[in-house]
Amino acid sequence: MRKYRYITLREEPSLKDKAAFWFHSKWGVPADAYMECMNAYLNAETEYGWYLCLDEETIIAGMGVIENDFHNRKDLTPNVCAVYTEEPYRGEGIAGKLLNMVVADLKHKGISPVYLVTDHVGFYEKYGWEFLCLVQGDDEPDMTRMYVHR
């Protein structure tokens, strides 16, 4: 059984550039956009954080929290975003541990509920998320699923 480290970016701010480029490589969102959000978190301008799982020094999974994950329901905030686990590490519960870490961290800061948009069905429910409604993604023709964790 491999041992991983689960951290917030505040615990290891030196990973900011590496993390921003890692998320960019997974989602195609400009690295500068991630840097901007990460800087706001590191400078305590927001409590919406960034969470990583490391295998030694390699980022193998991560997610962030932002105001709105590119959808029309601006009232449903904050949103977990950029959820990703490297393929060889999937099925080990890593994303679930990170999701639980995010929810606990935000609740500790008095931030609840939290939302996320996804096309996945059955995955998030395992970690206490509930389907809430369909939302319209920015520049997306189809509706997507919005989940909530209270």
- Taking the C-alpha atoms of residue 38 and residue 41, their distance in angstroms, rounded to an integer, is 5
Could you check whether the bond before residue 78 is cis, i.e. omega within 30 degrees of 0? yes
Question: 5-111 domain in CATH 3.40.640.10?
Answer: no
pLDDT tens, position by position, 77-113: 999 999 999 999 999 999 999 999 999 999 999 999 9
pLDDT tens per residue, range 32-54: 999 999 999 999 999 999 999 99
